[in-house]
């Protein structure tokens, strides 16, 4: 067959995705056939008269379902990293079809009867931990999917689920379109005063590309607009830009306020239909936190220390702004600007002073070297592996003994059609069905592109972002599970950030920085005093930063513990929650909720707290590396064996205790943040 997705094997190196043979038309042709093939395969499985043993039900081959999964994975990864208006339009056609098929499976009584038969008749003690968890997860998933609802209520459930899928996609498209179309032109060169030369040069290139040669353009991409907020001396310019960014989805044609109301209210209905008081408790039942009450208690533990330190931070900032510029009414568009100036004065260090030491290529080589020292793996660029954009690089990953580990794709620079931010994803998961299938993972970032004059130079915060996403990639690459759905990063949401967040700690250690931090022009290593200043300044304004994190977690859990329909004002609701975390007045039409893709489009519904939850775990875990050595082979091997390779094969609390030797506590994190 000519359509690549209808072939059993791609005939590419390591069966990697043949991106050069893929187009929107290929997807449009493949999906209807793949969905129908998978449907017929599924119905045949449901009617199979063979005995309902664990092996017959959970180890049954499903090649058509696998083919559909591969096609879906590639398509939706591309809608995030390399999309077009035409692809977005097709998404709106495709999602209802995929959702319909998903619901057919979730509500098929014959399918459930086979699952339930295995669940009720199997001696769980004879299963591996991974098999037992898979059985329990699938069984509970059916119950939460409404399998035991009366038929009339199942119809309603289908309607809710399909509508939520559409709304989630609409929310995400609004955010993407508002980001892509946002333009802030500066036409007076004096208004650029304070900005680094690199940022000015990039803005000039953006403006020329947009057809305005006598201007500088700052876009909706964080790496474009944030330097203005951080460095521009013109206070009014900072205000206008931040106001535009913060309101890009709360007003105008990409306004998400009504979309949020619909999503929240449908989630309430969905939870109620399944006998839960709210969507948060329905979701959290299967997380480490267990309930919304526990999440609220967890977040509350940080409120007092964060606000105490945050208030001190703000008072110091206010006094500084008054002293140097006579500013007596510090605003949100001032905090980053004066924080950066104060940081430089206190620690004699700033982002632009450090940036020349963090050339992207060298940082990448550095994180690869860290992986080699910790986990004995190496990365080899392989140009025979096809990529979806010329900016993407593909690597073959091997153990030092030559054992194949997986494929790693790296996509570092922003462009039109690519979502802002950074994330890790997979094109193929790891599993073992008698044959070991190794993973193909990818990290996607938004680092400033190189220019003719300079390579891509990273801010230190971008260095930690790279290490963060690479930590997720290691979690995927080093997986050793039997089932793809339980392998790699397919763990509980409040555990998934542990491998990523812990790796950020290496960025603050001299032994690691010495591997890659050298001046891009002179080759001189980063001065020891700079390394010391990086560590000293790591708790700078940590109270305000932590307060914001707790606010975001609280905002998320507040939206999702509602038990009655919401018909209020989205901005007023958010403002009310923000009051206890507020250090400066909010801007006109400012809203986080309206572009909070994590909770209204991504997988972090009622789970944004998990970043802080995982931070507790990683701070505690990293203390062991600090005690034994950050490249200590025994500790690294234990982390790989107990955390990175295990996926969801065991209870994460047990996995953590196996690594740490005890239960976790938040003392290490409070100490790390200077909040103790």
Is residue 401, in this structure, part of any structural domain at all? yes
Would you state the pLDDT for residue 428? 97
Same domain, 536 and 635: yes
Q: How far apart are CA 418 and CA 379, in angstroms?
A: 25
CATH number of residue 29's parent domain: 1.20.1050.40
139 lies in the same domain as 231: no
The three state secondary structure string of 494-512 is CCCCHHHHHHHHHHHCHHH
| Both structure tokens of 308 | 């105490």
Q: What are the pLDDT digits (tens) for 559-577?
A: 999 999 999 999 999 999 9
Please state the φ and ψ torsions of residue 370, each to the nearest 5 degrees. -60, -45
Same domain flag for 133 and 222: no
Q: Are residues 363 and 479 in the same domain?
A: yes
Beta bridge partners of 407: 396, 440
Predicted local confidence at residue 8, as pLDDT? 80
Write the DSSP assignment of 218-235 as a string of letters.
EESSHHHHHHHHHH-S-H
Last residue of a domain, one of 203, 225, 246: 246
Is the distance from CB of 397 to CB of 379 less than 8 angstroms? yes
- Asked if 258 is an active-site residue, the reply is no
- Asked whether residue 560 is assigned to any structural domain, the reply reads no
**Token pair listed for 183:** 């333009």
Mean pLDDT of 132-159: 94
How many C-beta atoms surround the C-beta of residue 53 within 10 A?
13
Q: Examine residue 553 and state whether it is found in any structural domain, yes or no.
A: no
In a domain, 449, yes or no: yes
Distance (Å, whole) CA 424 – CA 472: 6
Secondary structure class of 217 (helix, strand, coil): strand
Which residues touch 197 (CB under 8 Å, ≥6 apart)?
none
341 in a domain, yes or no? no
Measure the CA–CA gap between 77 and 426, rounded to whole angstroms. 8
| Token pair listed for 379 | 């990365």
Q: Which residues make beta-bridge pairs with 359? A: 457
371 with 519, same domain: the answer is yes
Q: Are residues 188 and 130 in the same domain?
A: no
Instruction: Tell me the C-alpha distance between 42 and 277, whole Å.
Output: 33
**pLDDT higher than 60, residue 58:** yes
* C-alpha dihedral sign at 594, 598, 602, 604: negative
Q: How far apart are CA 151 and CA 270, in angstroms?
A: 15
Are residues 625 and 519 part of one domain? yes
Predicted pLDDT at 471: 98
Per-residue pLDDT at 352 exceeds 60:
yes
Indicate whether 140 and 192 sit together in one domain. no
Domain assignment present for residue 378? The answer is yes
Rg (alpha carbons) of the chain, rounded to whole number: 25
The CATH number of whichever domain residue 668 belongs to comes to 1.10.1370.40
State residue 1's pLDDT score.
52
Q: What is the tens place of the pLDDT at every residue in 28-49?
A: 999 999 999 999 999 999 999 9
Q: CA end-to-end span of the chain, whole Å?
A: 64
More confident residue, 453 or 268: 268
* Spatial distance between the Cα atoms of 399 and 563, rounded to a whole number of angstroms: 51
Q: Tell me which DSSP letter residue 525 carries.
A: B
Q: Which two three-digit tokens encode residue 656? A: 């953590």
Residues 136 and 213 in one domain: no
Catalytic residue among 469, 497, 590, 615: 469
- Looking at the structure, tell me whether residues 133 and 189 fall in a common domain: no
pLDDT exceeding 70 applies to what percent of the chain?
A: 100
State the alpha helices, DSSP H only, in 565-631: 570-578, 597-600, 610-628
Domain count, the chain: 3
Q: Beta strands of 254-347 (E only): which ranges?
A: none
Domain boundary residue, one of 144, 165, 195: 144
Residue 666 banded pLDDT, cuts 50, 70, 90: confident
Domain termination site, one of 246, 265, 285? 246
User: What pLDDT score does 426 carry?
Assistant: 98
Q: Are 117 and 197 in a shared domain?
A: no
Q: Is residue 429 part of a domain?
A: yes
Cα(189)–Cα(211) distance, integer angstroms: 17
Helix extents (H) in 129-234 = 129-144, 151-181, 197-209, 222-231
Find the domain containing 17 and state its range.
4-106+108-144
407 by DSSP, 3-state: which? strand
pLDDT score, position 198: 87
* Within a domain: 517: yes
Do 615 and 478 share a structural domain?
Answer: yes
Between 284 and 421, where is the model more confident?
284
């Amino acid at each position: 067959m000519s359509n690549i997705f209808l072939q059993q094997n791609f005939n590419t190196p390591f069966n990697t995705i043949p991106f050069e043979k893929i187009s929107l038309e290929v997807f449009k042709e493949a999906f209807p056939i793949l969905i129908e093939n998978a449907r017929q395969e599924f119905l045949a499985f449901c009617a199979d008269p063979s005995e309902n043993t664990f092996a017959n039900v959970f180890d049954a081959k499903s090649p058509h379902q696998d083919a559909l999964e591969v096609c879906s994975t590639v398509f939706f990864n591309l809608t995030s990293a390399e999309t077009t208006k035409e692809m977005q339009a097709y998404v709106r056609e495709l999602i209802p079809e995929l959702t319909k098929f998903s619901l057919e499976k979730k509500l098929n009584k014959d399918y459930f009867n086979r699952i339930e038969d295995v669940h009720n008749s199997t001696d769980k003690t004879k299963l591996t931990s991974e098999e037992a968890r898979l059985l329990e997860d699938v069984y509970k998933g059916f119950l939460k999917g409404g399998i035991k609802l009366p038929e009339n209520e199942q119809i309603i459930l289908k309607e809710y689920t399909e509508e939520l899928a559409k709304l989630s996609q609409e929310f995400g498209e609004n955010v993407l379109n508002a980001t892509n179309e946002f333009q802030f032109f500066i036409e007076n060169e004096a208004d650029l005063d304070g900005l680094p030369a690199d940022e000015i040069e990039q803005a000039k290139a953006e403006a020329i590309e947009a057809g305005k040669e006598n201007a500088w353009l700052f876009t909706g991409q964080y790496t474009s607009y944030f330097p203005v907020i951080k460095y521009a001396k013109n206070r009014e310019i900072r205000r206008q830009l931040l106001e535009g960014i913060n309101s890009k989805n709360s007003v105008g044609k990409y306004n998400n306020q009504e979309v949020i109301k619909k999503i929240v209210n449908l989630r309430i209905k969905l939870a109620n239909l399944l006998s839960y008081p709210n969507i948060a408790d329905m979701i959290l039942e299967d997380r480490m936190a267990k309930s919304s009450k526990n999440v609220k208690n967890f977040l509350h533990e940080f409120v007092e220390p964060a606000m105490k330190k945050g208030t001190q931070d703000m008072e110091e900032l206010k006094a500084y702004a008054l002293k140097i510029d006579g500013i007596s009414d510090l605003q949100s568009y001032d905090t980053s600007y004066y924080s950066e100036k104060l940081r430089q004065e206190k620690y004699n260090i700033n982002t632009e002073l450090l940036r020349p030491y963090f050339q992207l290529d060298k940082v990448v080589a550095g994180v690869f070297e860290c992986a080699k020292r910790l986990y004995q793996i190496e990365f080899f660029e392989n140009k025979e592996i096809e990529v979806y954009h010329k900016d993407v690089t593909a690597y073959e990953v091997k153990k030092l003994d030559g054992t194949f580990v997986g494929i790693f794709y790296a996509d570092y620079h922003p462009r039109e059609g690519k979502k802002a931010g950074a994330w890790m994803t997979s094109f193929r998961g790891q599993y073992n069905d008698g044959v070991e299938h190794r993973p193909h993972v990818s990290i996607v970032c938004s680092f400033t592109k190189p220019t003719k004059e300079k390579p891509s130079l990273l801010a230190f915060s971008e260095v930690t972002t790279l290490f963060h996403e690479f930590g997720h990639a290691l979690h995927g690459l080093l997986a050793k599970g039997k089932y793809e759905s339980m392998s790699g990063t397919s763990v509980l949401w409040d555990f998934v950030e542990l491998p990523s967040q812990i790796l950020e700690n290496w960025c603050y250690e001299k032994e690691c920085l010495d591997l890659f931090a050298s001046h891009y022009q002179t080759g001189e290593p980063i001065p020891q005093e700079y390394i010391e200043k990086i560590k000293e300044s790591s708790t700078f304004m940590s109270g305000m930063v932590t307060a914001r994190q707790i606010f975001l977690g609280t905002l998320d859990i507040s939206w999702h513990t509602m038990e009655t329909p919401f018909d209020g004002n989205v901005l007023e609701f958010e403002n009310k929650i923000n009051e206890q975390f507020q250090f400066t007045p909010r801007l006109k039409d400012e809203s986080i909720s309206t572009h909070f893709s994590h909770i209204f489009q991504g997988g972090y519904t009622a789970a944004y707290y998990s970043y802080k939850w995982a931070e507790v775990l990683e701070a505690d875990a990293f203390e062991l590396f600090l005690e034994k050595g950050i490249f200590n082979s025994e500790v690294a091997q234990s982390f790989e064996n107990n955390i990175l390779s295990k996926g969801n094969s065991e209870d994460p609390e047990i996995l953590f205790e196996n690594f740490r030797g005890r239960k976790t506590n938040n003392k290490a994190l409070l100490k790390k943040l200077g909040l103790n």
